[in-house]
Chain A
């Protein structure tokens, strides 16, 4: 039977000792899970190793840890695959999740971070008006859509590796915002506007996400939290016209209008426009703050005064405005949600297209 080395990060905060690494050898078939490896260590070598687990079938969400630096469920990660991806001489490196305080070894305090944030988004249905006589009827497509967020098992893997939360611990974060979409996308909920307004106005809300995609890769259930955050922004800004005090929606619209005008991004306009225009009271302190950056750019010939004032590509993009008007002029936005539709392309059609 093959032997695997588990390199486990040990830490007991109240001991006063610094965290340290400890190697354990386990003999198990490669298709057995990292969790089984840890439990074998616990059962046969050192009962004090701390790990939280329950179902062992990737549904309870208890055993998320970092394996070789990436957040994963220990119960659905094969030992052989983990060893293949080792960056440490074949040793499987197991650490607690990030962004949450460690209680003991691989156990983090989910209450202190994850559950607080979930509570923050009012994670229950707030229907309006009298309930229907019988059941609520929800269109199939809406229901399939929100099942993506409902698939969350609250394991915290996305929270662990959220790069915004790393620098701003108050960020509501991927799991809770995906949960927020579950209600914003549910036609039975009557508080969509209020929910969105709240999440857009919060300085650590939907506009605090940096588009890093870590949560999409981290999620073992395909929830794609970042995609849900982008949909919250789209619905808040474009459907409900919520102008937040974080300049989130203004920045998006400044960007879109910038491209409609210029074809290529004209950075010199984007910054003031994101704050409401060069002469807006909100823009002035920001622009003053950015002045040294602009001066440095000019000094290093990154930007010439001419380029800052005139966009060199403007004339090449006359046709674009018509295209923008056509798409933006639709009564309803057209969106392809691959979670609902899947990759449905007809191979014969694709083949036909490939012919010149």
Chain B
């Protein structure tokens, strides 16, 4: 399937391995990525904090660019983008007057947003469009005995109503189901739906790192081999800042954190190097055995 693809900023900035892994994984799932290379930052909730109209305009612009492609829908690989964009879309879709006003801002570039863009995170697309049976059938190297803790973070699971989470689409269980479909073992731990702390890293560093450190420690205590997250911003606090988080919570953690496309790539048979796993601060390569099945160190 063809999708208008929005990688976000951080996947091309401080977590380049995420964007790279997605590009490698897409053809294995028959996803054709039409990258929205003129689209701008979603605002991450921060621009809306300053000026709501500005955030709504930037995202209407991205939606309009997506609507110009022949993609079936729009796909993102960043939870924060998903959440911020869903918030703006809620306002844009609620009022034609407001939409007209925002489209007025886009006129200079000849762009116009029409109500009802479908914008799905990769996790949603996997379950709702591709299907878990299809995904399962494509697994080349099952994640046998790999114990994976899902780290959803905030923006992709709350507020429940805005993100379309209900009994028909239990999107707050998708990471669990994807891990299982790939042959892995889901680890339940306290931090799966909590905040990584990243949004307040410049305002209250200690609280921010305490959040990251606690969730990572909970995963260690629950005997996880690694975490997987659909959010590159969570990845920054959980992986890049992990040594600092260790200092704040006063214990060694050493918990690898994988991006969702990396976990997919491993199961679909890609080489760990190709997926950028060596680019992490906590290298997953040191705790995972990459034979024909992907096995956690403890089990290996």
Contact = CB atoms under 8 A, between A and B. Distances in A.
Contacts of A343: 93-95
Interface stretch (A106-114, A130-138, A265-273): A265-273
A168 interface: yes
B251 interface: no
Given A163-B194, A255-B47, A333-B52, A350 B96 contact: yes
A203 B114 CA distance: 42
A255 B44 contact: yes
Contacts of B95: 336, 341, 343-345
Label chain A's interface by main secondary structure.
Answer: helix
B40 A264 contact: yes
Contacts of A336: 52, 56, 91, 94-95, 98
A interface residue count range (under 10 / 10 to 19 / 20 to 34 / 35 or more): 35 or more
A293 B54 contact: no
Interface residues of B, number: 71
B214 A335 contact: no
Interface stretch (A52-60, A140-148, A312-320): A312-320
Interface class of chain B by DSSP: helix
A247 B93 CA distance: 34
A234 interface: yes
A107 B199 CA distance: 32
Contacts of A211: 45, 154-155, 195, 199
Residue from the set B56, B57, B204 with the largest chain A CB neighbour count within 10 Å: B204
B71 interface: no
Contacts of A316: 37-38
Interface string B230-243: 00000000001101
Interface stretch (B11-19, B121-129, B136-144, B289-297): B11-19
Contacts of B56: 336
A283 to B, nearest CB: 10
Interface in B131-161: 154-155, 158-160
A105 interface: no
Contacts of A248: 203
Contact of B158 (A214, A233, A251, A303): A214
A267 B203 contact: no
7 contacts: A212-B194, A251-B46, A265-B9, A265-B10, A312-B12, A336-B56, A338-B91
Given A234-B50, A247-B202, 11 more contacts: A164-B207, A203-B204, A211-B154, A217-B158, A255-B44, A267-B9, A300-B278, A302-B240, A303-B13, A342-B94, A354-B115
Interface of A: 163-164, 166-168, 171, 203-204, 207-214, 216-217, 230, 233-234, 237-238, 246-248, 251-253, 255-256, 259, 263-267, 271, 274-275, 286, 292-293, 296-297, 300-303, 307, 312-313, 316-317, 319-320, 322-324, 326-328, 330, 333-336, 338, 341-346, 349-350, 353-354
